[in-house]
Structure 1
Amino acid sequence: MEVSEAIKDRYSVRGYTNQKIEKEKLDAILDAGRLAPTGVNFQAFKIFVIDTKNNKDALSKIYPQDWFIQAPIVLAVVVDKSKSWTRPWDGKNIADIDGTIVMDHMILKATDLGLGTCYIAAFKKNEAIDFLGLGENEEPLLFTPLGYPNASRADRPRKSLEELVVYK
């Protein structure tokens, strides 16, 4: 699949089969995250691969939607703001940007491989920190279920380029 096809084909999947994900596919998805660009290449992130079958109760506390735990795996991207690059002129820490790029790379690769995902940012942060056993400087940033889709695409309207792009 071409990158442009993956961009167009990706959608927020809210229903999954329990079909196991092949190790080769999971490894390719994780490698896409590993290869994501980060500020000054600091790579101040971790990717957690969570088996939903063994962690249903904890995951349900983090994000209480039934479809979240239908997929066989949930991925979490965790960032460490103390190790990520900060712009010296204004103090902007880019850990959130780096972590989002990591998740986006994995989600597009998953789409390329026929797997479904859904960005989850509206989770219970303290539950996630406790479950993942994070350190003081580590912060959970994004989650996604990862599995074979069992839900129809619900197309969402998109603004036109004219509404979003400014030329100067």
Structure 2
Amino acid sequence: MHFNQLLRERYSIREYKPLKVSKALVIEVLEAGRMAPSAANKQPWNFILISDDENLNKLKTAYDREWFKNVPQMIVVCGDHEESWKRSVDQKDHCDVDAAIAIDHMTLRATELGLGTCWVCHFNPTIVREILQLPEHVEPIALLPLGYPVDNKAPEKKRKAFSEVAFEEVYGTPLKK
């Protein structure tokens, strides 16, 4: 799939077929995350695949949404704050930024493979931390449901105008296309 088409067709899937994704395809998705760039090449991420129904059902309690109860598989994306790069000037921790880049790579690869994802950040991290027995320095950053979409027709994207987000030289001076 052409990259521009992929950008337009990727969207959050909230309805999945009750099928598990093959391990080979899951590995393709995880590999896309592994190949993502990161600050100072620290790669401070961990990807935890949840396929077992018992563990999946436990994790589903961390995000109380009806659609989430039917997710067939999930990748829990974690950031390791002991590994992440910190900017020297103000110690800004880039763990979240690096994990976000990896997640974006995984969502795009999943779409290319005909799979669906939904980037979930509104969950209870304490529940996830306890279920996965994460050490203190490893933070659950996002839950990434993975499966086959019931309907994979991309809705029209609603985005701000180019002139509202792209500036030239000085903030507020719109960049002309």
> Which bracket does the TM-score occupy, shorter chain normalised?
over 0.9
Q: Per-residue CA shift, 1:126-159, capped at 9, x if unaligned? A: 1111111100111000111100001464445211
Give 1:12-161 correspondences, 5 Å limit. Answer: 12-51=12-51, 53-151=53-151, 153-161=154-162
Partner in structure 1 of residue 174 of structure 2: none
Q: Which runs of 5+ in 1 are unaligned?
A: none
Give distance in 2, aligned partners of 1:78 and 1:144: 11
Amino acid at match of 1:163: E
Q: TM-score, normalised by structure 2?
A: 0.89
Name which structure has the greater RCO, CA cutoff 8 Å, separation 6+: 1
Give distance in 1, aligned partners of 2:65 and 2:155: 17
Partner in structure 2 of residue 165 of structure 1: 166
Partner in structure 2 of residue 3 of structure 1: 3
Verify the 8 A CA contact 2:6 2:108 in the aligned structure 1.
Answer: yes
Q: How many residues align?
A: 168
Change (3 A) 1:121 1:68: same
Of structures 1 and 2, the larger Rg is shown by: 2
Amino acid at match of 1:161: F
Q: Per-residue CA shift, 1:44-86, capped at 9, x if unaligned? A: 1100101152324312211112322423210111001121100
Amino acid at match of 2:41: N
**Partner SS state of residue 140, structure 1:** strand
**Partner SS state of residue 62, structure 1:** coil
Amino acid at match of 1:36: A
Q: Percent identity?
A: 35
Give distance in 2, aligned partners of 1:14 and 1:153: 12
Q: Which runs of 4+ in 1 moved over 6 A?
A: none
State the superposition RMSD in angstroms.
Answer: 1.5
**Partner SS state of residue 150, structure 1:** coil
